[in-house]
Structures are given as structure tokens and as C-alpha cells.
Structure 1
Amino acid sequence: MLKEERRGRILEMLGVEGKLVASDLSVALGVSEDTVRRDLRELAEAGKLRRVHGGALPRSAVTGTHEARRRQASAGKVAVARAAVGLVENGQVIILDGGTTALEVVRHLPAGLEATVVTHSPTTAAALAEHPNLEVVVIGGTLYKDNILAVGAQTVEAFASVNADLCLQGIWSMHPEVGVSHPYYEEMLVKRAMIESADRVVALASAEKLGTASSFVVAPATAYTHLATDHDVPEEILGPFRELGLEIAKG
């Protein structure tokens, strides 16, 4: 089997199985584990998959900047927002992440909702300012311009002083074994602080983010109490998260 043919087969198997183990690939393809590891490394460098210890996982399809993500999977974001809003109640203290899914959450909040919303996103805060009955607390820090979020030690410390009822957290990648992961280290640290500051934590994850992995692990999937996702995500994808104890909310 030629190298390009072999690597095409690897990507095909990853698409079907959702996870690859290097030792199993060696047997299936009839090549050495060194060859498999080299293939996986070079496919990862080409952005085709995410290399993990012992094998590989699908790479998240999410693009980098806030502006680019505004144009990506908009129907899925609306469905996730609807699912998440169903968990919101009057009188709560709510941590709301930044990002384009968070903006959809703001757009779907009931006009009569009375709650306190804490965010480290200037964009989210500006959208919340249009809501008639919400108290908005903005957490500061160093502005990460690509994603328009506050990050850094000041941001992490500020979240540590919050005792929220609910955290609605945007997700880049979520896998039942790897957990939730993110490509940016400073954002990952802030997301950890958000989780630790809330009683219930909701992962806002549309279909294309499930079963994928990124560079830095935020937390295991069991750190989340709920998964808000699209209405048509198949049960074979959601089942492992249910088994871990997450409640599934579909929009």
C-alpha cells in the first residue's frame, strides 16, 4: 500500500470509528507501529487529525477567530442556545462565556428573565446590555483580541470570587474519554476557573464539536452536569456522555 493510500485509509477509518489506536492500526494496515506513528504525526501536522497518546482523534472543525466563527454552523448554534436557555431560571447567578454561541444564548433569553449574568466577554456583555431585566457583571483582564475575551491571572482570580448557580460554557472540542479541550492555553485556564465557580455547568457544544480533541484539556467530561446540543445528534454520539452522568438538552 502506497503512503498516500495508507494515509487516506487512516482518515477514512478515523471518520468511521471516531478514534484510532496506533497498535491496532499497525495490524490493520500491515505496517510497523513506527510507520503508523509517523503517519499520524504528519497527518496531525497537516491539520487532518489530533494526535493523542497511543493514537489519534478527530480534530475540531472550529475555526480560529471570533469573526470566522460567526459564519460557521449557525443553525447548530441556534439549537444549542435554545437548549441552554431551557435551563435558565429567574433569580440565578449565571456565568456566560464569550463566543458566537454565547451571543445566540443572549438572543434567546426571555425578555422577562431577572438574573445576574457574569461574563469576561465584552461582546457578550454588550449584547446583555440590551436586555431589560438583567444585572451584568463584567470581569476584566488582558484582552485576547482574536476571540474578544479577557484572559490572564486577573480574570482567573475574579472568577474564583463568584459563586454561580449555572455556567454556560462555550466548547471547542468535547470527547467522552479526553474531556473538554481547547487550543489556547490562557483561555483554557479561564474555562477551568469558570467550572469551579458554578454549581451546574453546561457544555454548549453543537454536533461538529463532539468526539473531537484540541491541544489543552480544560476538564474531564464529568466536570459538566449538562450537554446542550443539536436536536438531531445521533444517540451513538450522545450515549457515552449519558453514561458519564451528563444530562442532555437538545434544542
Structure 2
Amino acid sequence: MLAAERREHLLGLLARQGKVVAKDVAAELGISEDSVRRDLRDLAAEGLCHRVYGGALPVSPAVADYAARQTVTPDGKRKVAAAAAALIRPDSALILDGGTTALAVAESLPPELACTVITHSPTIAAALVAHPKAEIFLLGGRIFKHSAVACGAAAVEAAQQISADLCFLGVTGVHPEAGLTTGDADEAAMKRALAARAADTHILASSEKIGTASRFRVLPLEAVTTVITDATAHPALDALRAQSVEIRTAP
């Protein structure tokens, strides 16, 4: 089999099965594991897969910069945001993570809803300034420009001083084996700090994030209350439900 054919075969496995196991592909094709690993390295260098021990997982498209992510599945993000906003009760306190889906949640809050919003995203804080009944607490720290959020030691320390009823957390990947992941270590740490300060944590995951993975784990799947998604038919969803993960499908 030519290298180009192996490449297409690997990409097909990622699309159909949600992972590639190097030793299984090597046995199937009658080639060495080194050849498979070399092909996976080449695909990873092009941003077409996420390498893990023993193989690879589908790479998340949500690792693009903030401006680019605003154009990715905007309808799906609005559906997820509406489903998330419906969970917020009057006079509750919520932690709202950064990112484009979280911004859609802020924009979905009914103007008559009285609530307290705690966020480390200047973008979200600014979007809520005109909300008549939302009290806003902005956590400060070093701004991670990729997601327009505060991260680092100062931001984590600030997060440890607050508490909330709900936390709406964005991730770049939701995968039944890799768990909940994102592309930056400091951002992953900040997300963990935020989730630890809420009674319930809900994951905002538009369809392009389901079945994909990024480099840094945020939380294990069992640590969250629900995964809110607009995806309706994906093999990863069945695998997540088999692990007792509650999936809330946005209408």
C-alpha cells in the first residue's frame, strides 16, 4: 500500500471509529508499527489528528484562534447556549467560562433574569454590561489571547475565593477515552479551578467537539453533571452514555 493510501485509510478510521490503534492497523495492513506511527506523526504535523500513546484520536477544530472559532457552527453554538440558559434559575450565581459558545450563553440570557455571573472573560463581562439584571464579577489575571480569558496563578487564586450554583465550561474536545480536553495547559488548569467552585458543572459542546481530543485534559467525564450538545447522531455519544455521562441534547 502506498503512503497516500495508508494516509487515507488512517483518516477513514478516525472518521468511522473515532480512534486509530497503531498495532491493529499494522496487523491489518501487514506493515510495521513504526510505519503507522510515522504516518500518524505526519498527519499530526498537518493538524489532521491528535497523537496519543499507541495511536491517534480525531483532532478538535476548536483549537483555532478566537476570531476563527466565531465562524465555526454558529447555529449549533446558539442551540447549545439556549439549552444552557434554560437551566439558570432566577437569583442564582453562575460561573461562565470564556469562548465563543459561552459568549452565546451570555447573549441568550433573558433580560428579565436576575442573576450573578462570575467570569474570567473580559469579552463576556463586556457583553453583559447592558444586561439590566445581571450582576457581573470579573476574575483577573494574565490574558490568554487565544480564548480572550484570564489564566495563570493570579486567576486561579481569584477563582478559589468564589462559589456558584452552576458552572458552564467550554472545552475543545469531548471524547469517551480522552475525556474533556483543551489545547493549553494553563487554560485547562483555570477550567478545573472554576469547575471546583460550583455545585454543578455543565459542558458546552457544539457538535464539532464531540468525538475529538486536544492535548491537555480538563476533567474526567465523571466529574461533570451534563454535556450539552447539538449533536444528535455520533458514535461517541453512545460511548459516552455507556459510561453514564448525561447528554442533554439542545433542540
- What are the equivalent positions in structure 2 for 1:64-143 lying under 5 Å apart? 64-143=64-143
* Residue identity in the other structure for 1:248: I
Cα deviation, residue 129, structure 1: 1.3
CA contact (8 A) 2:165 2:198 kept: yes
**TM-score, with length taken from structure 2:** 0.95
CA contact (8 A) 1:227 1:248 kept: yes
CA contact (8 A) 1:225 1:245 kept: no
Q: CA RMSD in A?
A: 1.3
* Residue identity in the other structure for 2:112: G
Cα distance in 2 between the residues matched to 1:10 and 1:236 = 17
CA contact (8 A) 1:172 1:181 kept: yes
Tell me the number of residue pairs that the alignment of Structure 1 and Structure 2 aligns: 250
CA offsets per residue over residues 89-120 of structure 1, 9 Å max, x none? 11211000111111111111122211111000
Cα distance in 1 between the residues matched to 2:245 and 2:135 = 29
The 1:86–1:246 alpha-carbon spacing in structure 2 relative to 1, beyond 3 Å, is farther
The 1:237–1:146 alpha-carbon spacing in structure 2 relative to 1, beyond 3 Å, is closer
Cα distance in 2 between the residues matched to 1:151 and 1:229 = 25
SS at structure 2 position matched to 1:51: strand
Note the residue ranges of structure 2 that are not aligned, 5 or more in a row: none
* Residue identity in the other structure for 2:41: R
Cα deviation, residue 235, structure 1: 5.7
Which residue pairs with 2:45 in the alignment?
A: 45
CA offsets per residue over residues 151-207 of structure 1, 9 Å max, x none? 110101111112211000112111111111111111111011111111111110011
Which residue pairs with 1:4 in the alignment?
A: 4
Which residue pairs with 1:34 in the alignment?
A: 34
Cα distance in 2 between the residues matched to 1:63 and 1:56 = 17
2:247 pairs with 1:248: yes
- Write out the 4+ residue segments of structure 1 that deviate beyond 4 Å after TM superposition: none
Cα distance in 1 between the residues matched to 2:110 and 2:59 = 35
Cα distance in 2 between the residues matched to 1:15 and 1:96 = 32
Cα distance in 1 between the residues matched to 2:71 and 2:118 = 25
Cα distance in 1 between the residues matched to 2:183 and 2:212 = 12
SS at structure 2 position matched to 1:246: coil
- What are the equivalent positions in structure 2 for 1:8-19 lying under 5 Å apart? 8-19=8-19
Cα distance in 1 between the residues matched to 2:240 and 2:197 = 22
CA contact (8 A) 2:164 2:198 kept: yes
Cα distance in 2 between the residues matched to 1:240 and 1:13 = 16
Cα distance in 2 between the residues matched to 1:130 and 1:245 = 39
CA contact (8 A) 2:63 2:172 kept: no
Cα distance in 2 between the residues matched to 1:143 and 1:207 = 27
- What are the equivalent positions in structure 2 for 1:148-167 lying under 5 Å apart? 148-167=148-167
* Residue identity in the other structure for 1:50: H
SS at structure 2 position matched to 1:62: helix
CA offsets per residue over residues 36-61 of structure 1, 9 Å max, x none? 11111221112110101111100001
Identity of aligned residues (%): 45
**TM-score, with length taken from structure 1:** 0.95
